[in-house]
A and B are shown apart, each in its own frame.
Chain A
Amino acid sequence: MAYTLVLMRHGESVWNQLDKFTGWTDVELSTKGIQEAKTAGVMLLQNGFEFDIAYTSMLDRAIDTLQYALEGAHMTWIPVVKDWHLNERHYGGLQGKNKAESIDEFGEYQVKVWRRAFAIKPPLLSEYDSRYPANDERYIDIPAEQLPIGESLKDTLDRVQPYWESELKPAILSGKRLVISAHGNSLRALLKFLENISDNKIIDIEIPTGNPLIYELEEHTLKVLKKYYLIDIKNKSNKNIFSKLKSIFKLT
């Protein structure tokens, strides 16, 4: 008996379209993002997936993705854990800025370094900044010094790791079937732990949005036996999959 683990990167948000640094900013899903999440849910149901518990970040776009997917899968009743450790990389002072604006302000080279380097932090936020996480009511129970004010990719991986070790891994080992809804960089962290990916390589790994990533893991060892995306996008018949499912399942 292998364990099954399903990872989902949130569907497209309205800021993806505007090309802004999002990070911990709460941004809504775009219409396309909502459709991606509903499609994922229906496909999970159609392929016989069952879950015992769901994990998500504290950010609306990941929670909403999870909710639309669970609604599509008619599995809304499973327990849901919302935890900040699964949040996106914190982009500090870049958050809310358009990529072109950032290049004007800091120069193309510097912006490229912030986006592409493994261990270089973006400009950090001060506690007087409206974007400072400890001022946000959702993190009120978390000691301010634990909350990031600007992270490199390395910082994000370092904060996801203890959560993986203390919460996610034990849950999988106990035989629970997990679905995790999170972000490009917090999911990179999970991929790194699952597949022992090196620091150099992890930065080049891109995870598509709204397409459930399925892992089959060996019992006890969590060795990856199989890994695949639920929706085969190379198959041309999946190109307009939402429109197809829409009429069958009365999606709106």
Chain B
Amino acid sequence: MSKIILVRHGDSQWDQENRFIGWVDVPLLERKDLLKNIGNVLLNNNTDIDVVITSTLERSIVSAWTIMNSMYHSWITEIHDWRLNPRHYGIIQGLTYQEAILKYPNINEINLSWDQTVNPIALDDKNHPRYDRRYSNVEPEKLPSVESLKDVYSRVETFITDVLLPILAKNENILIVAHHDSIRSILKYFQKLSIEDTIAFNINPSHSIVLEYDANTGISTQSLL
């Protein structure tokens, strides 16, 4: 048996301003009590974490460090993988909800759909991920200009196959600190959620959910920390 502990990163300034953040690297706010508490619970439960995996964004990485630090396990092996990034919100990244609705009156419908997107950012936009050196090891055509939830799911699926399943085959426990869309994609994969249930799934910032996974049967059960 392995445990996959899924944690959504803590709040950033832009979360509080209700902005579409996407791939913009907004720092975590300093209030980290909920994250520290996750570390304390893991420590008190004697849950051995073998590896920590985050997205390539600071709010997820610093959230992971906060948890590891509060459980005195800063030394655990860590991996940062771009495929755990949140959904790329194209041209509305950085806009508040009120600003976005002026461009897209049907923004709610788009966001609550499986495969619709807003318009992509241009390939020559200096904010395109292909100009960010943190993605220099990724083939440029794989890097998104905008994504639907379906697109997020497809890349998370390749992450699960390439990275997660080999670790789970060794019966190791994994702490994943990521984003709303990448977390529900992982749940869809392991819990075989329907598209409707995936869209409806919510997890609050600095909150966690646990999957207990049996590598022999491939069956996972959901539990709380």
Contacts and interface: CB of A to CB of B under 8 A. Distances in A.
A164 B98 CA distance: 55
Contacts of A64: 69, 74
Nearest to B82: A77
A78 B61 CA distance: 10
Contacts of B48: 137
A59 B69 CA distance: 11
Given A67-B65, A252-B30, A59 B75 contact: yes
B32 to A, nearest CB: 10
Given A77-B57, A137-B48, A252-B30, A82 B75 contact: yes
Interface size range of chain B in the complex:
10 to 19
B15 interface: no
Contacts of B72: 26, 60
A227 interface: no
A138 B75 contact: yes
A128 B134 CA distance: 45
B75 A76 contact: no
A82 B77 contact: yes
A178 B56 CA distance: 19
Contacts of B74: 60, 63-64, 67
A74 B58 CA distance: 7
Interface in B104-135: 133-134
Interface size range of chain A in the complex:
10 to 19
A243 B57 CA distance: 27
A24 to B, nearest CB: 12
A74 B75 contact: no
Nearest to A139: B75
A79 interface: yes
Contacts of B80: 77, 79
B30 A76 contact: no
Nearest to B57: A77
B27 A74 contact: yes
Given A71-B62, A74-B58, A80 B75 contact: no
Contacts of A67: 62, 65, 69, 74
Interface of B: 25, 27, 30, 48, 56-58, 61-62, 65, 69, 72, 74-75, 77-78, 80, 133-134
Given A60-B72, A67-B65, 14 more contacts: A26-B72, A59-B75, A60-B75, A64-B69, A71-B27, A71-B58, A74-B27, A74-B58, A77-B61, A77-B80, A77-B134, A80-B78, A82-B75, A82-B77
10 contacts: A50-B133, A64-B74, A71-B27, A71-B62, A74-B27, A74-B58, A76-B58, A77-B57, A77-B134, A80-B78
